Amino acid sequence: MIPERLLPVVDETAQLAERFARAGHHIYLVGGTVRDAIAGPPSGGEAFGPDSDIDLTTDALPDEIEALIRGWAESVWTQGKRFGTVGALHAGRRFEITTHRAEVYLPESRKPEVRFGRDVISDLSRRDFTVNAMAVSLPAIELIDPFDGLGDLAARRLRTPLEATTSFSDDPLRMLRAARFISAYGLQPVDGVIEAVKELADRLSIVSAERIRDELDRLIVLPDPEPGLWFVVRTGLADRFLPELPALELEQDAVHRHKDVLAHTIAVVGKTRPDKILRLAALLHDIGKPRTRAIGPGGVTFHHHDIVGARMARARLEALHYPNEQIDAICRLVELHLRFHTYKMGWTDSALRRYARDAGPLLGRLNELTRADCTTRNVERALELEARVDEVEARLVELQAREALDAIRPELDGNAVMARLGIPPGPDVGRALDYLMEVRLDEGLLGEEAVLRRLDAWWAAQGAKED
């Protein structure tokens, strides 16, 4: 029986299926479209929402696919045509139609060698996992499940259609993709999958940094990324693309005990909302600890691990080819994640302004990271931290209402400074603005008249220094 969730997809593909059938070709719904119609999407939302793409496979070759959808599709894109995929937009819906194929990575190659076929069973056998190796024939609406993907979904089991070593050799990124399916669908990898990943982890080196980055992004924003993160650590995958993560499993000893930093880090990720920037900052926030670990009279310390960690995070994110804007945001959160703890109850308004200024648009994320960073089992300490963050956030709201903290700047701009002091553009203007920013941070909004007096006094003092 076809799940009711799949019926809207069948309706939207009816015209397309007729076109292929009239031309003597077979076409099938496949992959995530079928899987999520059966199991539901990992987010718990709609299995087939207005933004969902429809994936299909066919025995038609790429040129034949393109010819068949011309006139039906509002637009066609062929960037993936050499890999067998032709994209289309019809009635606001995106379709990706792929010729039956097998992707095989040659040794030391970063790009797959694509071979086209005419058999849907062979096509399904080359897919990553059995839960993705199901198809629905159109227009007959028959489920094709040669590798018992349906049974694996029911049993919460992660298997590959072929031998796991064969599947992961074909496309090593599938080893990292396994982590996503473990977290997304609560699947448990069979022993063969685990053993194959451990054996072939080094093969991840032939996969491009961009593909690894994109797969990490998909994992990190799942509702519960923790099982997948543990999988990449325990199988050795993380050593190949994020070695700073397993390095957090610091050696413990009976005398100088400290929190398990790896377990703490993965727990912090799970406590944050599924925002990519926030989650990546949580993943990387303590990576400076191994390099800064020291043992003194008071026990284990990690002085300046925030600063060291921010530098390490930048290097790792650059290696994974993240966009500069995202790198800057993530590293800023790592750098500032201890700032809250340098203050106690009773922050001055000046301290709050500086905290808000330094965090800028990341203030909300920084406060959330601060809350999530508390994983202590000491209930009293946890409640104390919550109360402190609550108080700071409340006071920030009050200051924001009075002073527009989200756009904090000197009360005078450069033009006003030059007009008041009668000076041309140059270093003196910058120094004056720096002084006025300090006044703004220390004392808040003073009003134009008072600020002009302060500027005059500062300028006179500069002249006295020169004399």
H, E, C per residue of 59-90: CCCHHHHHHHHECCECEEECCCHHHCEEEEEE
Whole-angstrom distance, CA of residue 71 vs CA of residue 80: 20
Q: Is 244 helix (H, G, I), strand (E, B) or coil?
A: coil
Same domain, 132 and 12: yes
Of the candidates 407, 432, 454, which is a domain's last residue?
A: 407
Whole-angstrom distance, CA of residue 145 vs CA of residue 131: 9
Whole-angstrom distance, CA of residue 18 vs CA of residue 16: 5
* Cβ–Cβ < 8 Å for 13, 29: yes
Min mean pLDDT across 343-352, 374-383, 419-428 is at: 343-352
Same domain, 398 and 439: no
Q: Is 300 helix (H, G, I), strand (E, B) or coil?
A: strand
For every residue of 368-383, DSSP letters joined together read HHHHHT---S-HHHHH
Return left, alpha or beta for 416; rule: phi > 0 is left, psi -120 to 50 is alpha, else beta.
alpha
Q: Is 7 helix (H, G, I), strand (E, B) or coil?
A: helix
Same domain, 77 and 114: yes
Q: Looking at residue 302, what is its pLDDT?
A: 86
Same domain, 209 and 264: no
Residue showing tokens 């543990």 = 230
What are the Cα distances from residue 117, in Å, to 50, 57, 120, 425?
Answer: 32, 11, 8, 70
User: With 60 as the cut, is the pLDDT of residue 394 above it?
Assistant: yes
Whole-angstrom distance, CA of residue 310 vs CA of residue 302: 14
C-alpha of 418 from chain center: 46
How many separate domains does the chain show?
4
Q: Please, is 348 exposed, middle or buried when counting C-beta atoms within 10 Å of its C-beta (0-12, 13-18, 19+)?
A: exposed
Q: 141-153: per-residue pLDDT in tens?
A: 899 999 999 999 9
Q: What is the CATH number for 21?
A: 3.30.460.10
In 3D, which of 285, 384, 377, 409 has the Cα closest to residue 339?
Answer: 285
Same domain, 275 and 376: yes
What are the Cα distances from residue 41, in Å, to 47, 56, 78, 328?
Answer: 5, 18, 28, 32
* Cβ–Cβ < 8 Å for 295, 258: no
Q: Is 158 helix (H, G, I), strand (E, B) or coil?
A: strand
Same domain, 145 and 9: yes
Same domain, 397 and 273: yes
* Cβ–Cβ < 8 Å for 176, 209: no
Count CB atoms within 10 A of the CB of residue 247. Answer: 17
Half-sphere exposure of 418 (CA within 13 A, CB side): 10
The model's confidence at residue 346, banded by pLDDT at 50, 70 and 90, is low
Q: Looking at residue 258, what is its pLDDT?
A: 47
Residues constituting the chain: 467
The model's confidence at residue 400, banded by pLDDT at 50, 70 and 90, is confident
Same domain, 236 and 253: no
Question: What is the Cα gyration radius of the chain?
Answer: 29
Sign of the CA dihedral 141, 146, 147, 148?
positive
User: With 60 as the cut, is the pLDDT of residue 312 above it?
Assistant: yes
Domain housing 27: 4-150
For strands 85-90 and 299-301, give the pairing. unpaired
Whole-angstrom distance, CA of residue 164 vs CA of residue 191: 10
Half-sphere exposure of 66 (CA within 13 A, CB side): 13
* Cβ–Cβ < 8 Å for 47, 36: yes
* Cβ–Cβ < 8 Å for 415, 432: no
Same domain, 255 and 402: yes
Q: 266-305: per-residue pLDDT in tens?
A: 999 999 999 999 999 999 999 999 998 888 777 788 888 9
Whole-angstrom distance, CA of residue 41 vs CA of residue 136: 18
Instruction: Report pTM.
Output: 0.86
The model's confidence at residue 256, banded by pLDDT at 50, 70 and 90, is very low
* Cβ–Cβ < 8 Å for 184, 176: no
Q: Which amino acid is at 355?
A: Y
User: With 80 as the cut, is the pLDDT of residue 254 above it?
Assistant: no
Count CB atoms within 10 A of the CB of residue 364. Answer: 13
Of the candidates 206, 241, 276, which is a domain's last residue?
A: 241
Same domain, 267 and 161: no
Q: What is the DSSP letter of 138?
A: E
Question: Strand pairing partners for 27?
Answer: 58, 138
Same domain, 287 and 388: yes
C-alpha of 264 from chain center: 19
Same domain, 225 and 364: no
The model's confidence at residue 52, banded by pLDDT at 50, 70 and 90, is confident
Q: What is the CATH number for 217?
A: 1.10.110.30
Of the candidates 365, 389, 407, which is a domain's last residue?
A: 407
